Amino acid sequence: MALNYDQAVAKYEPTLGLEVHVELNTHSKMFCSCSTEFGAEPNTQTCPVCLGLPGALPVVNGKAIESSILIGLALNCSIAPFSRFARKNYFYPDMPKNFQTSQYDEPICVNGYLDVEIETDEGAKQFRVEIERVHMEEDTGKSLHVGGATGRIHGADYSLLDYNRAGIPLVEIVTKIVGGTGKYAPQVARAYVTELRDILRSLQVSDVKMEQGSMRCDVNLSLAPIGSGALGTRSETKNVNSLRSVERAVVGEVVRQANRLETGERIVQETRHFLEESGQTRPGRSKEQAEDYRYFPEPDLVPVVPNSEWIEVLRATLPEKPSIRRKRLQDEWNVSDKEMASLVNAGLLNVVEATISLGADPARARSWWLGEISRLANEKEVDPISLISASQVAEVIQLIEAGELTDKLARQVVEGVIAGGGTPVQVIAQRGLKVVSDDSALMIAIEAAIAAQPDTADRVRGGNIPAAGALIGAVMKATGGQADAAKVRELLLKHLGKGE
Amino acid sequence: MTSIRSTASEMSAALAAGTITSVELTEAHFARIEDVDSDVHAFLYLDKAGALAQAAESDAKRSRGEAQSPLSGVPLALKDLLTQKGIPTTCGSKMLEGWRPPYDSTVVAKLKSAGVVILGKTNMDEFAMGSSTENSAYGPSHNPWDLTRIPGGSGGGSAAAIAAFEAPLAIGSDTGGSIRQPAAVTGTVGVKPTYGGVSRYGLIAFSSSLDQAGPCARTVLDAALLHEVIAGHDERDSTSINAPVPQVVKAAKKLDIKGMKIGVVKELQGDGFQAGVLERFHDGLDALVSAGAELVEVSCPTFDYALAAYYLIAPSECSSNLARFDSMRYGIRVGDDGVRGAEEIMNLTRHEGFGPEVKRRIILGTYALSSGYYDAYYGSAQKVRTLLMRDFNAAFAQADVLVSPTAPTTAFKIGAIEDPLAMYLNDIATIPVNMAGIGGMSLPCGLAPEDGLPVGFQIMAPAMRDDLMYQVGGALEATLLAKWGAPILDLAPVLAAK
């Protein structure tokens, strides 16, 4: 009888370890001046350095050091006064030098923590995740294995290599062993990765898009019988590419490992690949025989020795912690946890805050960004914030509040701005989208509608107020939707002797 | 009258005076190469068209009256481990056969912008590993003093080209003595600048923390002129020193060493040094004293461990530096039959492409860096390095420069040394300089009485005080020249045209 999750955590204590790789959003690569722009033609963003040509030498990207220090500071780490790069030696075709320039025993940031909040049976509870290290390294190129069933190198007919990614700066953030979570291990893992993502986003050091690979998470997990105080053998689940998957991967591994232990099988120390469809993992490379990477200090680079004054300058620029900021904004805007979460998950918190700070009503700002603008962005498969600016949205909202635009007209204005028609005011002028508020113009249309539907007008005069809808509709149609419907209704009823 | 036997500074003066053009000078050198290089085999590649174009450009600039660097229009031979855009660069290895780099090394870029005419690429031990050029995949170079003997290594091609008057200047690289030992055994001058004094960008790495490019010439002043062209801070090399280049030309011209203290290293003489080498070394010391310098004996006890430590650090770094030669992106590819996988092709290519000495060092370095051995080997070797620096610092507290014979013997016969460990001993006196990152120079101090072959005199100076060794070297050269009455290369057999 297989154990389910609840049964598994009733018997076994999970221990977590999380390794998160983050692609920094520097304009140039870690050790050369090549562009890091995503999506270029293969092998067009390369040079002698990132291709590892004979004789070429690396030079550290100062911006990447700065970003790494900011990350360390935001994670309450100590910044090492002296850190070094090391070479991790192994052969693979997508690695131009056949060694990766990384940091090994002397990383730039050490010993930090991140407090996360999870919902437990006893309500919200804070949990401290300790950070072991934050270190810098370079990304490898990308292999595309063509032919063969698995898309892996074994069995492929041939492989294509793209070195545009080779040398993109990466930061790896490694937690210490995370124990004592009990059954909440999946929630703690997810809350940690979520909070980390929000911090990195607030620092503006990475795009942190898990689905695009600019943030990748490896979940290490082991089980030991509750109360044994022991540490079990761990598995390392690779490439868990969404927040939901982080939670599911932990659940999946707890169940898999518990069932192996139940049947007396041993846990193999190995990497495993997360399967998005089933939430389970399949075995990858065995780590039973540790690979020897023959690390040694990179002789082509000098040690990183950040000046302590510079570190303090950077510390002073740290933004408000995302968790604190979210609570503050939630209170200010008076929105529910759920609404707040949807803004955060959509990555719209900053732009909504900017829109509100420009004078827009919080409720309207939220609904425009999450509603119409997100819908248009989905259609175009782009990021909402790339379509229209906060100030343009604020302007539209203010025009609605001033009664100069109806919601329907405002949607046309927004569409016009997105289509490249200029500012909201220019779009309104070009398309003649102003609300028709001139009473005499409206009266002509109302009289025409009454003349066209005399029976309907009589029913309204006879007290059947809802029948006025047909007349109002005719007026709206005649004015091309530019009239304020409430105003039309008011004038029509008054004209038919039914006004208040 | 300017000839191929003139010094680079004489050629420079003749070019400035208009008594010869760079094109004429370049053609004269190609004619000489045509005559003797089938015997000497200093060159792996000649870029006649490129060199003549560079010479014509230098002449044109001169005729327009544009400002010229002192070495503009003067020919030079380039060791085949510096990249030159579009010109084959092999590092003396089969692995890079046919590879044409898409970029200029910083040294080459500086030579080009100074108007120096690059004649071609010179032979070397494969990936600069060796002391004789016998490890070149393209066959050894021959010593112009005796064609049956080695010209030293790894930069034997550069030294032989200068000694055979195929070029007045050359660029070498020195990881454990590859500029200085060839200079010693060919009767020429070779300088290993302070580590970080000359950019390594585009210098194909053997051992990153030890490699340093430097000048090869027939006189101390010529070496200084070339030194000033290639030295200086380079943003593309993180280990390059951001400080003004020492004024070596000025120092080489000083010819005054009165009151300077010369430290004679106790550990670099005696056992293992050929009697005639020590005899000429002492002639050199006498010359320094006659020029007004004061000798002091200094002791550097850690020097006894330098060779052993070097043969852990250099192979360790080389095992990683040479990993990139895997046939995936450039160089030769072996066994790609459409069926074999990438890993197998990498194996076959590295098996075919590397020679035995390179393989020996890759294996040694891989072992030294392996988990469980790292601390005992690489870690201990780095500690020795620190101790070597302390020895040097203590010695430099007593003396302005240190001196020793450059190499323990004169040039040996090609094929005479088969034991790799015996071969490594050639560098016993040059290696401490690389391990400490300081500067070293070799210049001729006479011919050994037992075999009539040139002996090299080594001068070592503190980091970024390269000027001191040029000052002492210039004065020593002048004193010896006055004694001999003619440059030492005049005593070398005349290589006849075939």
Beta strand residue intervals within B74-185, DSSP E: 75-79, 117-122, 169-173
Mutate to test the interface with A, among B369, B370, B374, B383 (most CBs of A within 10 A): B369
The whole-angstrom distance between A172's CA and the closest CA on chain B is: 23
User: Is B189 a residue whose pLDDT tops 80?
Assistant: yes
Whether B369 and chain A come into contact, CB under 8 Å, resolves to: yes
User: Is B319 a residue whose pLDDT tops 90?
Assistant: yes
On whether both A252 and A366 belong to a single domain, the answer is no
- pLDDT for residue A403: 78
Between CA B288 and CA A38 the distance in angstroms is 65
- pLDDT for residue A222: 97
Chain B partners of A159 at a C-beta cutoff of 8 Å? 342
- pLDDT for residue A437: 64
Candidate from B102, B239, B317 with C-beta closest to A48: B102
Candidate from B83, B320, B341 with C-beta closest to A99: B320
pLDDT grade, residue A280 (50/70/90)? confident
Question: Of the candidates A208, A80, A193, which has an alpha carbon nearest to the alpha carbon of residue A135?
Answer: A80
Contact A55 B205 (CB under 8 A): yes
Please state the pTM of the whole predicted model.
0.87
The whole-angstrom distance between B306's CA and the closest CA on chain A is: 19
For A253, B388, B404, B405, B407, the CA distances from B266, given in Å and listed in that order, are 67, 14, 9, 11, 15
A126 in a domain, yes or no? yes
pLDDT tens column, A201-217: 999 999 998 888 899 99
Higher local confidence (pLDDT), A479 or B389? B389
Domains in chain A: how many in total?
Answer: 3
Between CA B133 and CA B125 the distance in angstroms is 4
Q: First-to-last CA distance in chain A?
A: 74
Q: Exposure pattern of A31-48 as b/e (b: 16+ CB <10 Å)?
A: bbebebebeeeeeebbbb
A340 in a domain, yes or no? yes
Chain A partners of B329 at a C-beta cutoff of 8 Å? 51-53, 96
A313 in a domain, yes or no? no
On whether both A213 and A271 belong to a single domain, the answer is yes
Of A34-38, A66-70, B172-176, B383-387, minimum mean pLDDT range: A34-38
pLDDT tens column, A393-429: 999 998 888 878 888 888 888 988 998 888 888 888 8
If you ran DSSP here, which 8-state letter would residue A208 be given?
Answer: -
Between CA B196 and CA B214 the distance in angstroms is 11
On whether both A374 and A256 belong to a single domain, the answer is no
Contact A294 B323 (CB under 8 A): no
Share of chain A above pLDDT 70, in %: 98
B151 neighbors B182 (Cβ within 8 angstroms): yes
Work out the widest C-alpha separation in chain A, in whole angstroms.
95
Instruction: Please tell me which of A51-60, A459-468, A484-493, B65-74 the model is most confident about, judged by mean pLDDT.
Output: A51-60
Chain B partners of A104 at a C-beta cutoff of 8 Å? none
Chain B partners of A289 at a C-beta cutoff of 8 Å? none
> What's chain A's average pLDDT?
91
User: Is A491 a residue whose pLDDT tops 90?
Assistant: no
pLDDT tens column, A106-119: 999 999 999 998 98
Whether B270 and chain A come into contact, CB under 8 Å, resolves to: no
The whole-angstrom distance between A23's CA and the closest CA on chain B is: 23
On whether both A256 and A342 belong to a single domain, the answer is no
- Residue B183 falls in which region: left (phi positive, over 0), alpha (psi -120 to 50) or beta: alpha
User: Is A288 a residue whose pLDDT tops 80?
Assistant: no
- pLDDT for residue B242: 97
Residue listed under structure tokens 């790896």: A172
- pLDDT for residue B265: 97
Chain length of chain B: 498
A55 in a domain, yes or no? yes
Chain B partners of A52 at a C-beta cutoff of 8 Å? 324, 329
- Cα A479 to chain centroid distance, Å, stands at 44
Q: How many CB atoms within 10 Å of residue B497? A: 9
Contact A300 B323 (CB under 8 A): no
On whether both A107 and A254 belong to a single domain, the answer is yes
A146 neighbors A159 (Cβ within 8 angstroms): yes
On whether both A182 and A267 belong to a single domain, the answer is yes
Work out the widest C-alpha separation in chain B, in whole angstroms.
73
* A391 burial level (CB within 10 Å; 0-12, 13-18, 19+): middle
Decide: helix, strand or coil at residue A87: strand
pLDDT tens column, B454-469: 999 999 999 999 999 9
- pLDDT for residue A500: 59
Contacts with A, B 289-318, CB within 8 Å? 316-317
B451 in a domain, yes or no? yes
β-strand pairing of A99-102 with A109-120: unpaired
- pLDDT for residue A212: 83
Residue ranges of chain A whose CB lies within 8 Å of a chain B CB = 48, 51-60, 87, 89, 91, 93, 96-99, 153-154, 159, 161, 290, 292, 294-296, 299-302
On whether both A84 and A103 belong to a single domain, the answer is yes
Domain containing residue A14: 5-297
Residues of B marked active site are found at 79, 154, 178
* A24 burial level (CB within 10 Å; 0-12, 13-18, 19+): buried
The predicted complex's ipTM stands at: 0.95
Domains in chain B: how many in total?
Answer: 1
pLDDT grade, residue A13 (50/70/90)? very high
> What's chain B's average pLDDT?
97
Candidate from B82, B320, B329 with C-beta closest to A51: B329
On whether both A419 and A450 belong to a single domain, the answer is no
Half-sphere exposure in the Cβ direction for A180 (13 Å, CA): 8
On whether both A117 and A34 belong to a single domain, the answer is yes
Contacts with A, B 36-95, CB within 8 Å? 81-83, 89, 91
- pLDDT for residue A407: 83
Q: Mind giving me the DSSP string for B20-86?
A: S-HHHHHHHHHHHHHHHHHHH--EEEE-HHHHHHHHHHHHHHHHTT----TTTT-EEEEETTB-BTT
- pLDDT for residue A495: 84
- pLDDT for residue B274: 96
Whether B237 and chain A come into contact, CB under 8 Å, resolves to: yes
Beta strand residue intervals within A2-107, DSSP E: 12-23, 78-79, 86-89, 99-102
Between CA A165 and CA A140 the distance in angstroms is 6
Over the Cα atoms of chain B, what is R_g?
21
For B8, B278, B428, the CA distances from B214, given in Å and listed in that order, are 16, 26, 20
Question: Of the candidates B7, B153, B16, which has an alpha carbon nearest to the alpha carbon of residue B75?
Answer: B7
A310 in a domain, yes or no? no
- pLDDT for residue B453: 98
What mean pLDDT do residues B171-184 have? Answer: 98
User: Is A277 a residue whose pLDDT tops 70?
Assistant: yes
Chain A partners of B79 at a C-beta cutoff of 8 Å? none
Q: Which residue of A has its CA nearest to B377?
A: A296
- pLDDT for residue A380: 87
β-strand pairing of A281-286 with B43-46: unpaired
Domain stops at, among A431, A458, A475: A431
pLDDT tens column, A349-380: 889 999 999 888 888 999 999 999 999 988 88
Candidate from B324, B330, B371 with C-beta closest to A292: B371
Between CA B128 and CA B79 the distance in angstroms is 10
On whether both A67 and A106 belong to a single domain, the answer is yes
Domain containing residue B198: 8-302+385-491
Question: Between B22-40 and B8-17, two packed helices, what is the crossing angle to 10 degrees?
Answer: 150
- pLDDT for residue B146: 98
Q: Which residue of A has its CA nearest to B345?
A: A93
B84 in a domain, yes or no? yes
B333 in a domain, yes or no? no
On whether both A250 and A158 belong to a single domain, the answer is yes
If you ran DSSP here, which 8-state letter would residue A304 be given?
Answer: B
Contact A294 B370 (CB under 8 A): yes
B358 in a domain, yes or no? no
Chain A partners of B103 at a C-beta cutoff of 8 Å? 48, 53, 56
Between CA A80 and CA A74 the distance in angstroms is 15
Contact A54 B201 (CB under 8 A): no
Decide: helix, strand or coil at residue A160: strand
Domain stops at, among A431, A455, A473: A431
On whether both A340 and A466 belong to a single domain, the answer is no
Share of chain B above pLDDT 70, in %: 100
Mutate to test the interface with B, among A53, A92, A95 (most CBs of B within 10 A): A53
User: Is B496 a residue whose pLDDT tops 80?
Assistant: no
pLDDT tens column, B292-309: 999 999 999 999 999 999
Give the CATH number, domain containing residue B39.
Answer: 3.90.1300.10
The whole-angstrom distance between A170's CA and the closest CA on chain B is: 20
pLDDT grade, residue A88 (50/70/90)? very high
Whether B347 and chain A come into contact, CB under 8 Å, resolves to: no
Q: Exposure pattern of B100-128 as b/e (b: 16+ CB <10 Å)?
A: ebebbbbbbbbbbebbbbbbbbbbbbbbb
Contacts with A, B 181-200, CB within 8 Å? 200
What mean pLDDT do residues A245-249 have? Answer: 95
B374 in a domain, yes or no? no
Whether B351 and chain A come into contact, CB under 8 Å, resolves to: no
A246 in a domain, yes or no? yes
A17 in a domain, yes or no? yes
